[in-house]
Amino acid sequence: MTVNKENLQFQTEVNQLLHLMIHSLYSNKEIFLRELISNGSDACDKLRFEAIGNDSLYENDGDLRVEVEFDAQAGTITVRDNGIGMSRDEVVANIGTIAKSGTKEFLSKLTGDQQKDSHLIGQFGVGFYSSFIVADKVTLTTRRAGSTEGVRWESDAQSGYSLEQVEKATRGTEIVLHLKEDEKLLADGWRLRNIIRQYSDHIPLPVNMRKTEAGEIKDEWETVNKANALWTRSKSDVKDEEYQEFYKHVSHDWEDALAWSHNRVEGKYEYTSLLYLPSKAPFDLFDRDNTHGLKLYVQRVFIMEDKEFKLMPRYLRFVRGVLDSADLPLNVSREILQGNKIIENMKSGSVKKVLGLLENMAANEPEKYQSFWKEFGKVLKEGPGEDFGNREEIAKLLRFASTLDDNAEQKVSLTDYISRMKEGQDKIYYITADTHTAAKNSPHLEVFRKKGIEVLLLSDRVDEWLVQHLMEFDGKSLQSVAKGALDLSKLETEEDKKEQEKVEAEAKNMVEQIKKALDGKVEDVKVSHRLTSSPSCIVLGDHDMALYMQQLLKQAGHEMPSTKPTLEINPTHPLLKRMEAETDDDRFAEWASVLLDQAILAEGGQLEDPAGFVHRLNGLMLAMV
Ligand code: ADP
Ligand code: MG
């Protein structure tokens, strides 16, 4: 009996993705089986979780498994699971649309170059749609546990998909791949067994195929994969390739992991952790709902995904893997898990393991660490603000660009910085700006360059937040070169100091005059000891937010208290010399105004009256010709 057959269109993004999948992943076509088996395994995990406290969902079939069958004549492969299944709405939501936020943006990055795109798509995760690499038609029939109605979804990836209500005796999902003409050879027992062993050996769920004897397919099933939970084996028995394949299953990633840490922890509580660092950031790294993280098991039985329980803090949200507790009861409920001591203990132990893994990598494999930093550094920088207890540990792992190097690469650690500090220097100097170029060219760096003092150049959005929470490292305070009073007295010679006093005394009148001209616009006007080649700069209070950040927050609709900056001038600059000679008061005021406005611009701030600035500047230029 068939009712309700209807044809539906894929969401635009799905169409794009399908097209891409079919054309760029050709050289990796065997992964479709890993993806389908992985989905079947997830579906069994979900059933187990939902069945806690509701045994009837098992429908007397608690022997969870994935089955793979083929028909060489018809050219089909079937992958079947007795997991949770899907309702009609779930099929539409999960298979007809991509709900992940940022998908549009992700797809807009595609280039049409197959090599590059296949890397990009790895960051997205290939999943169910990879079926269409080898099939020109896919039929998915599913029934949700506890429901009486089944639903059939079918598509050729060209013209949308059809949905119809069907009878389905068994719970779970069955997927039939109608292989493309030139892929029909995949419908072969030997090949399929090999693919399963290669990619799905260590998922903790049996993957079964029918026995064959003398070329004849029997009615009996046998388990093809090892189906033992990889993390329960001892480290020395597990090959790197096995770790990598298991990684792809838990992470939904299709590139290799960068590194992992596998631990059996004994002590007050007993648990096993297998924690992976991906080599590439997923496209939705900054999506707050980004889900896949750690999976929680109790004595090898899946309990739940990280989504429900933050098993990793947000600044380590890229970590993937498994925690398996020997102490929690098998029938745990959400209520038990909330604030549970055992969970908290596993969490903090795992954070330490990840930080230790990173520290080791930074020390022993600096290039590898650099590649980690490129992908995830911005996220790790959230750490000092989020995890007070591990602040020192995290701070050791941070890397920055600095005035020592001309490029934007973030390579300098705070420890490196301290080891290079000048005699008498007691602070770690940094500057924050909107871009690396703006940081690098800031007038505030002039005196530091002259004295050969290194300054860290911070230009990630998160940096301003980082420095608010990381006030010191290894007993040295962090100091913005653009904020507060600059005290380099310990680094200055007697001659320097004398010279400064002289300049200050000579400029006294002019400073007063400028202060009068800018009355109400600035907090104060001072002679600068920071500038060598710029005429002026803005200095903010120690606790003020950088101008470019204030700008950003204003644009985002936040009320910002308007703090008046201090203007510092460089009396030795030719422009200031020219001003000194100015006899017309009005014109002097114009000069002063331009000095202030250009200093604000150099700081990434915005002028209240840009047109007025341009007008004044033009007036002054004309007066010169
Ligand atoms: P992912 O596994 O990364 O979420 P997929 O494209 O592989 O992405 O699957 C999309 C979604 O479709 C899954 O999250 C799941 O909700 C649903 N799904 C896929 N296969 C199955 C299955 N065999 N049983 C139940 N749900 C499934
Ligand atoms: Mg999947």
Q: What is the pLDDT of residue 511?
A: 95
Number of neighbouring beta carbons within 10 Å of residue 554:
12
Measured at the CA of 280, the angle between CA 276 and CA 281, to 5 degrees, comes to 95
DSSP 476-511: EEEEETTBS----GGG--HHHHHHHHHHHHHHHHHH
DSSP 534: -
Q: Given this structure, which CATH class describes domain 399-489?
A: alpha beta
Q: Compute the distance between CA of residue 14 and CA of residue 159 in angstroms, rounded to an integer.
A: 12
For residues 620 and 591, the answer to whether their CB atoms sit within 8 Å is: yes
What integer pLDDT is reported at residue 299 of this predicted model? Answer: 87
Any atom of ligand 1 within 6 Å of the Cβ of 252: yes
pLDDT for 101 beyond 70: no
> 43-70 burial by CB neighbour count: b if 16+ within 10 A, else e?
bbbbbbbebbeeeebbeeeeebbbbbbb
Non-local CB neighbours of 255 within 8 Å, separated by 6+ positions: 119, 122, 123, 278, 279, 280
In angstroms, what is the span from residue 587 Cα to ligand 2's centroid?
70
Backbone angles phi, psi at 564, to 5 degrees: -85, 135
Give the pairing type, strands 301-305 and 294-298: antiparallel
Alpha carbon nearest to ligand 1 atom 12, residue = 94
- pLDDT of amino acid 122: 66
Centroid of ligand 2 to alpha carbon of 212 (angstroms):
29
Which residues, including other chains, have CB under 8 Å from residue 245's CB and lie 6 or more apart? 34, 198, 199, 200, 201, 202
**In the structure encoding, which two tokens stand for residue 199, read together?**
């990619």
Partners of 137 in the β-ladder: 178
Measuring CA to CA, how many Å separate 249 from each of 126, 233, 583?
12, 17, 77
The amino acid present at 369, given as its one-letter code, is Y
DSSP string, 72-88: TTTTEEEEEE-S----H
DSSP for 264-331 reads EE-SSS-EEEEEEEESS--TTTT-TT----EEEEETTEEEEETTTS--S-GGGTT-EEEEEESSS-TT
Pocket test for ligand 1, best of 25, 42, 84, 89 (most atoms within 8 A of CB): 42
> What is the C-alpha to C-alpha distance for residues 68 and 40, in angstroms, rounded to an integer?
11
Q: Ligand 1 test: best mutation among 11, 87, 94, most atoms within 8 Å of CB? A: 94
Q: How far is CA 250 from CA 240, 273, 278, in A?
A: 15, 13, 11
Q: How many CB atoms lie within 10 A of CB 412?
A: 20
| Closest-lying ligand 1 atom to the alpha carbon of residue 95 | 12
Please give the helix or strand (H or E) that residue 96 lies within, else none: none
Give the H/E segment covering residue 45. Answer: helix 31-51
Looking at the chain, the whole-number percentage of residues with pLDDT higher than 70 is 96
Is there an atom of ligand 1 within 6 Å of 94 CB? Answer: yes
Query: Containing H/E element for 375?
Result: helix 366-380
C-beta of 100 in contact with ligand 1 (< 6 A): no
Question: Which residue CA neighbors atom 7 of ligand 1 most closely?
Answer: 127
pLDDT tens by residue, 17-71: 888 777 777 777 888 999 999 999 999 999 988 888 788 999 999 999 999 999 9
438, 429 in Cβ contact below 8 A? Answer: no
Pick the closest to residue 596 from 508, 521, 520 (CA basis). Answer: 521
Instruction: Give CATH for domain 494-624.
Output: 1.20.120.790
Neighbours of 531 (CB within 10 A): 23
Find out whether the beta carbon of 40 lies less than 6 Å from any atom of ligand 1. Answer: yes
For ligand 1, atom 20, which residue shows the shortest CA distance?
A: 39
Q: Which of 43-47, 292-296, 409-413 has the lowest mean pLDDT?
A: 292-296
Res. 539: pLDDT tops 70: yes
Q: Is the CB of 39 under 6 A from ligand 1?
A: yes
Question: Token digits for 208?
Answer: 């079964």
Which pLDDT value is given to residue 447? 92
Beta carbons of 322 and 295 less than 8 angstroms apart: yes
* The model's pTM: 0.82
State the pLDDT at residue 27. Answer: 76
Q: 463-510, pLDDT tens digit by residue?
A: 999 999 999 999 999 999 998 888 887 788 888 889 889 999 999 999
Q: pLDDT (tens digit, 9 = 90+) per residue, 423-444?
A: 889 999 999 998 999 999 999 9
Residue 321 — pLDDT band, cuts 50, 70, 90? very high
CB 249 within 8 A of CB 238: no
Q: What is the rounded distance in angstroms from the CA atom of residue 424 to the CA atom of residue 490? A: 6
Residue with the bigger pLDDT between 125 and 132: it is 132
pLDDT tens digit sequence for 299-312 = 888 888 776 667 89
- Which tokens go with 418? 């301290």
In this structure, which CATH number among 3.40.50.970, 2.40.10.340, 3.40.710.10, 3.30.230.80 belongs to the domain 231-367?
A: 3.30.230.80
Q: What is the mean pLDDT of residues 174-200?
A: 95
Task: Say how many Å lie between the first and final Cα of the chain, rounded.
Answer: 92
Q: Are 32 and 173 in contact (CB under 8 A)?
A: no
Residue nearest to atom 15 of ligand 1 (CA): 94
* 3-state DSSP assignment of residue 428: strand
Query: 456 pLDDT exceeds 50?
Result: yes
CA distance 619 to 580: 18
Domain spans of the chain? 2-228, 231-367, 399-489, 494-624
**From the CA of 191, how far away is ligand 2's center (Å)?**
22
Residue 391: per-residue pLDDT: 95
Confidence category of residue 3, pLDDT binned at 50, 70, 90: low
Question: Can you tell me the distance from the alpha carbon of 470 to that of 462, in angstroms, rounded to the nearest whole number?
Answer: 12
Q: Note the ligand closest to the C-alpha atom of 131.
A: 1
- Token digits of residue 502: 């002289």
- Indicate the pLDDT class of residue 86, thresholds 50, 70 and 90: very high
For the CA of 129, the nearest ligand = 1
CA of 599 to the centre of ligand 1 (A): 55
* Residue nearest ligand 1's atom 16 by CA: 94
pLDDT at position 1 is 47
Pocket of ligand 1 contains residue 446 by CB under 6 Å = no
Mean of all residue pLDDT scores within the chain: 90
Residue 348, ligand 1, Cβ within 6 A = no
Question: 399-489 and 494-624 share one CATH topology?
Answer: no
Q: Which long-range contacts (CB under 8 A, 24 or more apart) does 392-398 make?
A: 392/473, 393/355, 393/359, 394/315, 394/355, 395/470, 395/473, 396/359, 396/362, 397/355, 397/358, 397/359, 397/362, 398/466
Residue 250, ligand 1, Cβ within 6 A: no
CB neighbour list of residue 241: distance below 8 Å, 6 or more residues apart: none
- CATH pick for 2-228 out of 2.60.40.420, 3.30.565.10, 3.40.50.11600, 3.40.50.1100: 3.30.565.10
CB distance 35 to ligand 1 below 6 Å: yes
The alpha carbon of 252 and the centre of ligand 2 are apart by a number of angstroms equal to 6
pLDDT at 404: 92
Quote the pLDDT of residue 288: 58
Higher pLDDT, 9 or 27: 9
CB proximity list for 463: less than 8 A, separation 6 or greater: 381, 432
For residue 574, the tally of other CB atoms under 10 A from its CB is: 9
pLDDT band (50, 70, 90) for residue 448: very high
What SS3 class is residue 91? helix
b/e string for 167-185 if b means 16 or more Cβ within 10 A?
ebeebbbbbbbbbbeebbe
